[in-house]
Amino acid sequence: MSEIFDQINPPARLLMGPGPINADPRVLRAMSAQLVGQYDPAMTHYMNETMALYRQVFETQNQWTILIDGTSRAGIEAVLVSAIEPGDKVLVPVFGRFGHLLTEIAHRCGAEVHTIEMPWGEVFKPEQIEEAIKKVQPKMLAVVQGDTSTTMLQPLEELGAICQRYGVLFYSDATASIAGNPFKTDAWGLDAVSVGLQKCLGGPSGSAPVTFSERYVEVVRKRQHVEAGIRDAHHQDSAGQIIRSNYFDIPMILDYWGEERLNHHTEASSMLYCARECARIVLQEGLDACITRHQLNGDAMRAGAEGLNLKLFGDQDHKMTNVLGVYIPEGIPGEAVRTAMLLDFGIEIGTSFGPLKGKIWRIGTMGYNARKDAVLVTLAALENVLRRMGHKLPMGEAVDRAMAVYGQGQ
Amino acid sequence: MSEIFDQINPPARLLMGPGPINADPRVLRAMSAQLVGQYDPAMTHYMNETMALYRQVFETQNQWTILIDGTSRAGIEAVLVSAIEPGDKVLVPVFGRFGHLLTEIAHRCGAEVHTIEMPWGEVFKPEQIEEAIKKVQPKMLAVVQGDTSTTMLQPLEELGAICQRYGVLFYSDATASIAGNPFKTDAWGLDAVSVGLQKCLGGPSGSAPVTFSERYVEVVRKRQHVEAGIRDAHHQDSAGQIIRSNYFDIPMILDYWGEERLNHHTEASSMLYCARECARIVLQEGLDACITRHQLNGDAMRAGAEGLNLKLFGDQDHKMTNVLGVYIPEGIPGEAVRTAMLLDFGIEIGTSFGPLKGKIWRIGTMGYNARKDAVLVTLAALENVLRRMGHKLPMGEAVDRAMAVYGQGQ
């Protein structure tokens, strides 16, 4: 039976979960631009521009600031598999689900992975991480900046100096936090950073911007091998162990993005157009202004949630600006609330997993949806749903408190 | 210095190389649809529809017909890394660049790779492959169907029965050939197939449809491990060696696409919309009609090329419908011709690499560009450029010969 279905026509949704969120309409339009050839001067020019744009987003001078063609975890795997040789020690401070993910991926790369753990809802002090570094003496420290599973933002400012002191590569995944929270690649001494588009950058999942310090590149270049099918007589292999992945082989990908333009994959052009536009939107607003907007709308959502008589989750001094955890009130059916929000109001809020499964909701204010109207309609809808499910709350208070944060209090 | 550049605005190009080609405008429009949440019923419904559509494209009843989020080589790596345990023997018949790529990826997965090789421009006879299987006794036969580097199409019809006889997993990458040349997953006894969108499917690079037989799934399920961060008490690990990649771990990806909907990556929604529309376009035309159209336009381009007094490359009995190799005439500067085609006429034709570097051009007629007008303007432009570069040719003959193929001969 041949079934061809209808043209794509998704229902209208306001995505106020922990991401993905609605893409900025400008990003969607950018993706509808027609393709050019892989080595067309226009294409390589767009690749160079994309590098220049993400240098600004990452606050770095790193030459090697490129895209990995895949979702954000493709960026993570590329960073790890290219640097880690089997047996290398990697230290992962785990404070949520994405710390486990780094652990899991590093383990599959053959690393001897060491973890330190914090309860979900807290972050590490730099001295705790330094102590573990001293003990483990890892090749790399791999740490998530913002872990949406707990809504926590790990401070990174002091870790670069610590890593420098002990000769450790410093890598962070900032997928959930970039452009909504400060992130300073060079000032904080990072060697590798990976992100995705589907959070504060306001795009769809499917492209992973990454940036690498010279030190990181030096490490992975020691493992450089050129594909047999395109190898010329002058290509020489390096002494390091071959990287276990072809797709995620950073040295080869750099030679594709660099002057050499050596064929690797066929660049995912539409996703490159998309990533380029995400960066342009953030930079036109101004990176600092964009972060301030996330702070403002996150604060408004938090004030509103308190107005709904909801208890906040986690260490509020280390909360990401762009996602809020609130406890599901005793006796209120968490999933039924989410379903009513989605099917009656067209608004998605997030569930949670692991130790927080069934305990908290996660409400995002990020990217295109870090907007006053998005915050206010979410609060108004949630007030209605919670009241009808039997939750006691002061009527009208949620929106009023959010309004006060916007300077429109009565 | 902050540089934000202009909005995306690529130059008009007619892409008549070996791919990527111009995306069908319908595909570009589909990508501009707004996002919904990862577990929104609308999203999981679209995922299921995409599976149903690609079952038809692959001519298979395989339940497990999904997308890998990355370019076509992401699909290849996912197939190989999930099935191959270090030390497993893999046989790769190499007849062009992409055979080398399969070899290279299998090698990085830890396989003991055995190859047999044909000169570029020829294909294997089934008996040659059977003989190698007998000798090597591999776990898997991995073979490209259409290798754009040589324009050759390897016949696969008889290989499934051979693999069955010797208990070998049969995998083919059909990125360059699918929807432009017959490909019958079930009838030919394939266990795994990977493709990309950027050739005859008329989309951009960035999503890799794959399909797996029950036998393949059984093999990879033996290596199933669930991520620590989302593991429940009831999840049990399997006895097989853990798959060396998290991103390409097929058992985990199946649990995301399947009823369990266990979180893995965040699906690249825009690329899913895109892949879905690519399949809809092919199936609305009819898969057989689509292949016939590729045959017709490929024949017209070949007849036209002969009318340009160009010598054809490779075994014409085993040529892909959708790409043509022609020798660069003695004394004609190959790259200058390509540059004039691109910059004066806005038409891209392909260069080549490896042993064919500087020897042939590759001209594609695929996907949205497998059209009469695209063929005719390419031939007319190429006639002009070749003549001005000093190549001797009978004026007007190229278009006339192509016209004759379209049944419009004089």
Q: What is the pLDDT of residues A361-385, one digit of tens each?
A: 999 999 999 999 999 999 999 999 9
Could you tell me if B211 and B335 lie in one domain? no
Q: What is the pLDDT of residues B65-118, one digit of tens each?
A: 999 999 999 999 999 999 999 999 999 999 999 999 999 999 999 999 999 999
Q: Kindly give, in sequence order, each residue whose CB lies less than 8 Å from that of residue B59, ignoring residues fewer than 6 positions away.
A: B183, B184, B185, B186, B187, B287
Answer whether residue B9 is part of any domain: no
Q: Which residue is closest to B1 within chain A, CA to CA?
A: A56
pLDDT at position B233? 56
Where is the binding site for substrate, in residues of A? 362
With CB atoms and an 8 Å threshold, state whether A37 touches B46.
no
Could you tell me if A258 and A320 lie in one domain? no
Answer whether residue B335 is part of any domain: yes
pLDDT at position B232? 60
pLDDT at position A236? 63
The model's confidence at residue B239, banded by pLDDT at 50, 70 and 90, is: confident
Whether pLDDT at B229 is above 70? no
What is the average per-residue pLDDT within A76-84?
98
Whether pLDDT at B278 is above 70? yes
pLDDT at position B235? 63
Q: Is B327 exposed, middle or buried (0-12, 13-18, 19+ CB in 10 A)?
A: middle
Answer whether residue B211 is part of any domain: yes
pLDDT at position B238? 75
Could you tell me if A118 and A249 lie in one domain? yes
Could you tell me if A258 and A310 lie in one domain? no
The model's confidence at residue A409, banded by pLDDT at 50, 70 and 90, is: confident
pLDDT at position B236? 63
Question: Looking at A267, A282, A297, which one is the last position of a domain?
Answer: A282
Answer whether residue A6 is part of any domain: no
Which of A4, A40, A269 is closest, CB to CB, to B204?
A269
What is the average per-residue pLDDT within B134-161?
98
Could you tell me if B105 and B137 lie in one domain? yes
CATH number of the domain encompassing residue A188:
3.40.640.10
CB contacts < 8 A (A, B): 311
The model's confidence at residue B234, banded by pLDDT at 50, 70 and 90, is: low
Whether pLDDT at A347 is above 60? yes
Q: Among A252-256, A316-320, B225-229, which is the least confidently predicted range?
A: B225-229
Could you tell me if B299 and B262 lie in one domain? no
Could you tell me if A197 and A90 lie in one domain? yes
What is the average per-residue pLDDT within A293-314?
98
With CB atoms and an 8 Å threshold, state whether A20 touches B35.
yes
Whether pLDDT at A233 is above 60? no
Q: How far is Cα B297 from Cα B368, in angstroms, rounded to an integer?
A: 11
CA distance B158 to chain A (A): 27
Could you tell me if B293 and B165 lie in one domain? no
Could you tell me if B130 and B169 lie in one domain? yes
For residue A79, the enclosing domain spans 14-282
Q: Which residue is closest to B287 within chain A, CA to CA?
A: A2
Q: What is the pLDDT of residues B348-391, one digit of tens each?
A: 999 998 899 999 999 999 999 999 999 999 999 999 999 999 99
Closest CA to B246 of A325, A105, A265: A105
Could you tell me if B378 and B275 lie in one domain? no
Handedness of CA A38, A40, A41, A46 (dihedral sign): negative
DSSP letters spanning A62-81: -SEEEEESS-HHHHHHHHHH
CA distance B117 to chain A (A): 12
Burial B17-27 (b: 16+ CB within 10 A, else e): bbbbbbbbebb
Share of chain B above pLDDT 70, in %: 97
With CB atoms and an 8 Å threshold, state whether B227 touches A104.
yes
Could you tell me if A163 and A27 lie in one domain? yes
Q: What is the pLDDT of residues A24-66, one digit of tens each?
A: 999 999 999 999 999 999 999 999 999 999 999 999 999 999 9
Answer whether residue A4 is part of any domain: no
Q: Is A397 exposed, middle or buried (0-12, 13-18, 19+ CB in 10 A)?
A: middle
Q: How far is Cα B30 from Cα B51, in angstroms, rounded to an integer?
A: 17
Share of chain A above pLDDT 90, in %: 93
Where is the binding site for substrate, in residues of B? 362
Answer whether residue B5 is part of any domain: no
The model's confidence at residue B409, banded by pLDDT at 50, 70 and 90, is: confident
Answer whether residue B240 is part of any domain: yes
Q: Which residue is closest to A30 within chain B, CA to CA?
A: B8
pLDDT at position A234? 59
CB B179 within 8 A of CB B200: yes
Q: Which residue is closest to B61 within chain A, CA to CA?
A: A1
Provide the CB-side half-sphere exposure for A367 (13 A, CA).
33
What is the average per-residue pLDDT within B35-46?
96
- As given in the structure block, the two tokens for residue A356 are 């927080």
Answer whether residue B8 is part of any domain: no
CA distance A165 to chain B (A): 31
CATH number of the domain encompassing residue B329:
3.90.1150.10
With CB atoms and an 8 Å threshold, state whether B74 touches A273.
no
Question: Looking at B266, B282, B298, which one is the last position of a domain?
Answer: B282
Residue A43's CB is within 10 A of a number of other CB atoms, namely 20
Could you tell me if A35 and A115 lie in one domain? yes
- Tell me phi and psi for residue B89, to 5 degrees: -90, 135
Question: Looking at B282, B304, B336, which one is the last position of a domain?
Answer: B282
ipTM: 0.96
CA distances (Å), B326 to each of A405, B131, B323, B362, B382, in order? Answer: 68, 32, 10, 7, 12
Q: How do strand B140-144 and strand B89-94 relate by DSSP bridges?
A: parallel
Q: Give CA angle at A350 (A345, A353), nearest 5°.
A: 150
Task: Look at the block and give the residue holding tokens 């080549």.
Answer: B352
Q: What is the pLDDT of residues A112-137, one digit of tens each?
A: 999 999 999 999 999 999 999 999 99
Q: Kindly give, in sequence order, each residue whose CB lies less than 8 Å from that of residue A64, ignoring residues fewer than 6 positions away.
A: A211, A212, A217, A254, A257
With CB atoms and an 8 Å threshold, state whether B348 touches A37.
yes
Q: Kindly give, in sequence order, each residue whose CB lies less than 8 Å from that of residue A177, ignoring residues fewer than 6 positions away.
A: A145, A146, A153, A183, A199, A200, A320, A322
Closest CA to B93 of B67, B55, B125, B52: B125
Q: How far is Cα B393 from Cα B82, in angstroms, rounded to an integer?
A: 52
Report the predicted TM-score, pTM, of the whole model to 2 decimal places.
0.97
Say how many domains are in chain A.
2
pLDDT at position B158? 98
Q: How do strand B192-194 and strand B169-173 relate by DSSP bridges?
A: parallel
pLDDT at position A225? 81
pLDDT at position A229? 57
Which of A38, A96, A206 is closest, CB to CB, to B69?
A206
What is the average per-residue pLDDT within A5-17?
97
With CB atoms and an 8 Å threshold, state whether A19 touches B266.
yes
